[in-house]
Amino acid sequence: MKGAKRAILVSAFRLIVLGSLLSLSCSVAFAESYALGKPISELQLKDGTVLHAFTVVSVSSSSVMAKWQGGRGNIKFSELPDAMSVAFAMLRRPDPSSTIDGEQPGSEGASEGDRNQPPAPIAITGEIGPTDGRVRTIRGQVIVTAHEDVEYKLGDVTIYVFGLKRFYALEAQVHAALKPTYDYFTALHSRAMAQKRYDVAADYSKLSMSFYDSELTLFPTGPRAVTDAEGRFDLRHTLREPYVIVARASRHVGDDVEHYEWMILSTKLSPDGKVLLSNSNMRLR
């Protein structure tokens, strides 16, 4: 009788251990499914808000910084679906292997990479330039030429127009607002390179570039247009000259991403307001 009870207890203990291991493995696998930089096509928050193309770019002690279609910002764990909040809470745990050789967590060198990401900057407010000019229509197309002279017509690219002087002032404000974020990723990139974790360093560079690509979304609201599947757009505005047309775009090429930027002065437009955004007139930084 005692032997039978002992066998039952041993079996029960094994089941508990097995269940714990399975639970742990599932949790780890679940956490990995919510990796940083991995897009989620659609996410519903607890308050019912639905976000599309949701991607977490950083995890702090109580929230995630994410970007999604039409916006970006910090979202508290309590606002995320339970399974996701648990997964990202696991991902934010310190990784002992992430310390640089000879450093201890909490040391000056380590603290730079361990600090929380700065809050997402809010959009800049202000004028975009004198808007009391005549009505103008800019018609154009966005086409880039890649390897082997293959042309790609870029759809879903937002084209903006600003007064020339105001653009430079607004750009300086946006850069200042984003500097803490760029500094944060630069520190993480440098640390990963020092640890020879080159794949991680590459991920940090890509995350930093994602913020760079979306800088124009932080500018004040003004006239804009979005290219269609053929890369074409029509943009109406009443800005006085001189004004500037600006756009940024990216294109996935295998595991890499190509980034493009344009800043076209109004004096470069044809008399009928047509313009082609291509490799030949990209902005160099």
Dihedral (Cα; 212, 201, 91, 121), 10-degree rounding: -20
189: CB partners within 8 A, 6+ apart: 201, 204, 205, 208
Q: Could you identify the residue written with the tokens 């292997």?
A: 97
Q: What is the pLDDT of residues 26-36, one digit of tens each?
A: 333 344 456 66
- CA 262, 266, 271, 273 torsion: positive or negative? positive
Q: Which residue's structure tokens are 């029509």?
A: 234
Residue 40 is predicted with a pLDDT of 85
Q: Which domains are delineated in the chain?
A: 2-94 (no CATH), 136-281 (2.60.40)
**Cα gap 69→41, rounded to integer Å:** 10
Question: What is each CA distance from 11 to 2, 27, 179, 245, 263, in whole angstroms?
Answer: 14, 24, 58, 72, 71
Distance (Å, whole) CA 17 – CA 129: 67
CB neighbourhood size of 192 (10 A):
21
pLDDT at 17: 38
Q: What angle do CA 208, 213, 217 make, to 5 degrees?
A: 115
pLDDT tens digits in sequence order for the chain, 285 residues long: 445 444 444 444 444 333 433 333 333 334 445 666 778 888 888 888 899 888 887 777 677 778 888 777 778 888 888 777 766 665 554 443 343 333 333 333 333 444 466 777 788 899 999 999 999 999 999 999 987 789 999 999 999 999 999 999 999 999 998 898 888 888 888 988 999 988 888 888 877 887 788 899 899 999 999 999 999 999 999 999 999 999 999 887 877 788 899 999 999 999 999 999 999 999 986
CB 223 within 8 A of CB 239: yes
With 0-12 / 13-18 / 19 or more C-beta atoms within 10 angstroms meaning exposed / middle / buried, residue 222 is middle
Please report the pLDDT score of residue 99 as a whole number. Answer: 39
Tell me how far apart the alpha carbons of residues 283 and 285 are, in angstroms, rounded to a whole number.
7
Give tens-digit pLDDT for 2-26.
454 444 444 444 443 334 333 333 3
